[in-house]
Structure 1
Amino acid sequence: MCRWLAYSGSPILLEELLYRPSPSLIDQSLHAQMGAEATNGDGFGVGWYGLDTTMRDMPDTRGPDVPVLFRGVEPAWNDQNLRELARSTSSGLFFAHLRASTGSPVQQTNCHPFRHDRWLWMHNGLIRDFALLKRDLALAVDPALYPSIEGSTDSEVMFHLALTFGLTDDPVAAVERMVGFVEATGRRHGVEHPVQMTVATSDGERLWSFRYSSEHQSRTLYVSAAISTLRNLYPDNPAFVGLSDETRVVVSEPVGSFAGAWQPFPESSYGIVQPGDDVIGDFRPREP
């Protein structure tokens, strides 16, 4: 499968989470402990919101809310351009993904995160027997969105189905409809457990995360404890001093070695990281 990380909070350098903790996300590209595979070397990607301060006077035809993508097909542990970018780029909301292919080719258009306008999307898991279901699923994508599908992964089709079912208006309901549709389609074709997923998506202001599988044995997903809690637990650690109380990190598996720093997502649940109180709720797929 894959490993991923989503950060929302005070702007930090990407390397603070990709490289500096022990273990870090990049360490998980070689030695993941909780994934279906220990090695996640089939490409990588990062997506972030907010232009670098040195670039703000330059024209950007995409608009200020459209995230930037950097994706590559090399293993993340071996990409020097990623290391250079991570030590020089800061953001208050960014995604990072390490890919372990479930069968689709290793190519840049298959690397996460995926982008549509201001939205980012990344996924760990699979649609089982995707080749069998792909035609029915792809035909359900809004014709206006279909040309935006660049790669061949189940993850990108899931994203475009969620967009079709209203992601930009109500992300939770849209992802519930997407999963309900995939499950109904799969079962029509005799696939018993069609969906296995942890997903993150964002519009640049809020971060939505989902943990679900048709068999209710989902891949791991964790959210960081409140920064105030971490300051109390580790008063001498400077890493937590400059971070706002709004800061949260969602990960496939924990980074760093701080006891009490990570809380598991419940089975079949979603979470929303947003200004003010965060939200966690039950995830209930439904047919659109």
Structure 2
Amino acid sequence: MCRILSYLGTPVLLDDLLYAPDSSLLNQTIGAQMLQMLNLAGFGMAAWDEASHAPNVPFRYRTTQVALFDRNLKALAGKLRSSALLAHIRGVPYNSTVQINEQNCHPFRFDGVPLSMAHNGDLAGFRDMRFDLAPHIRPEFAKQIQGSTDSEWIYALVVSALPDPGGINEPDAILAAIRHALSVLREARARHGITRSSSTNLMFCDGTNLAAVRFTFDFGHFDAGALQGSSEYLSMWYTCGRDYGLHEGEWKLIGGAIDADSVIVASEPLTRDFATWIEVPEYSALLVRRDGARRRAEIHALEV
């Protein structure tokens, strides 16, 4: 059911985030700690570099290859340093009905929109309700939907609800747009009588701000033989601090939240040792704000 990693802080080598930790995002392709499924259906990332040309535009990379075996990605990760990252490995049901192509790889980012999004979960009955969502999506974004995933439609709903989709929006405005999108989805589910549990863990980043949501519709209502992401509440964790690197034999941020200048949010901790990680509560949003040179992580209850 996918794994996501987001980072906001001082520049770090992508290899140190994507590969180096003992439970790194790339290792979660085949060995996630909190997910039994394999994540073999593609990889994508958006990475921002404040020192690069057009720093507000991320470097984007998406591929349907199994990420752990992607030599091009490994080479790029060893050269790129980023102050913000949103990365995703895609996990799908093991059957031939799933469409695996580059257009379905996360994260999603429409032309002219700074905000990118990645999704961990699945909307039950999406094919039945998706055209109920169309009136809530701006035409300039509806025509940019290229793939077949529920995730891209969620992204279109959120950016359509932003006060300034073409600009940098404050974390509170991003959260308000997320709440609106989830409300639209809940109403569409009700109209179609969809009650099956549907995980909607989301992460958003624009290179300046970061927002994450841990949310499930109708948790506990699932069919026999349901995928893990439908029968269990999908996880999300975060850690705050400074000087990300190898400290005392472990890849981590040090110093804690008091003087944090960096935040990592992930579907699960990047290390086997969870000591420096905090679980995002169920039905909650996490917002990362800039406070001078510091980054401050806030938890907000998510009522929809």
Aligned to 1:113: 107
Aligned to 2:16: 16
Give matches, 1:99-110, under 5 Å. Answer: 99-101=90-92, 104-110=98-104
Give deviations 1:210-258, integer Å, cap 9, x for gaps.
0011134631000014449x99xx6786865799721110010111233
Aligned to 2:278: 263
Give the deviation of 1:7 after TM superposition: 0.6
CA distance in 1, matches of 2:101, 2:8: 28
Give the deviation of 1:33 after TM superposition: 2.3
CA distance in 2, matches of 1:140, 1:86: 38
- SS where residue 275 of structure 1 aligns? strand
TM-score, normalization by structure 1: 0.87
Aligned to 1:177: 180
Give matches, 1:9-88, under 5 Å. Answer: 9-35=9-35, 37-50=36-49, 56=53, 63-88=54-79
Code of the residue aligned with 1:111 in structure 2: it is C
CA distance in 2, matches of 1:31, 1:50: 29
- CA distance 1:238–1:78, change in 2 (3 Å): closer
Structure 1 segments unaligned to the other structure (5+ residues): 57-62
Aligned to 1:93: 84
Give the deviation of 1:283 after TM superposition: 0.7
Structure 2 segments unaligned to the other structure (5+ residues): 220-231
- CA distance 1:240–1:125, change in 2 (3 Å): closer
Deviates more, 1:156-165 or 1:271-280: 271-280
Code of the residue aligned with 2:69 in structure 1: it is N
CA distance in 1, matches of 2:277, 2:254: 18
Give yes or no for contact 2:23–2:32 (8 Å, CA) kept in 1.
no
Cα RMSD of the aligned pairs, angstroms, is 2.5
Q: Does 1:280 align with 2:280?
A: no
Give yes or no for contact 1:29–1:39 (8 Å, CA) kept in 2.
yes
Give deviations 1:61-115, integer Å, cap 9, x for gaps.
xx43122210000111111111011111110100110001256411001000111
Report the number of matched residues. Answer: 273
Give the deviation of 1:191 after TM superposition: 0.4
Give yes or no for contact 1:183–1:214 (8 Å, CA) kept in 2.
yes
- SS where residue 92 of structure 1 aligns? strand
Give the deviation of 1:38 after TM superposition: 2.6
- CA distance 1:239–1:143, change in 2 (3 Å): closer
Give yes or no for contact 1:227–1:247 (8 Å, CA) kept in 2.
yes
Aligned to 2:266: 251
Give matches, 1:143-182, under 5 Å. Answer: 143-166=139-162, 168=165, 169=169, 170-182=173-185
Q: Does 1:207 align with 2:210?
A: yes
Give the deviation of 1:163 after TM superposition: 1.2
Paired-residue identity, %: 29
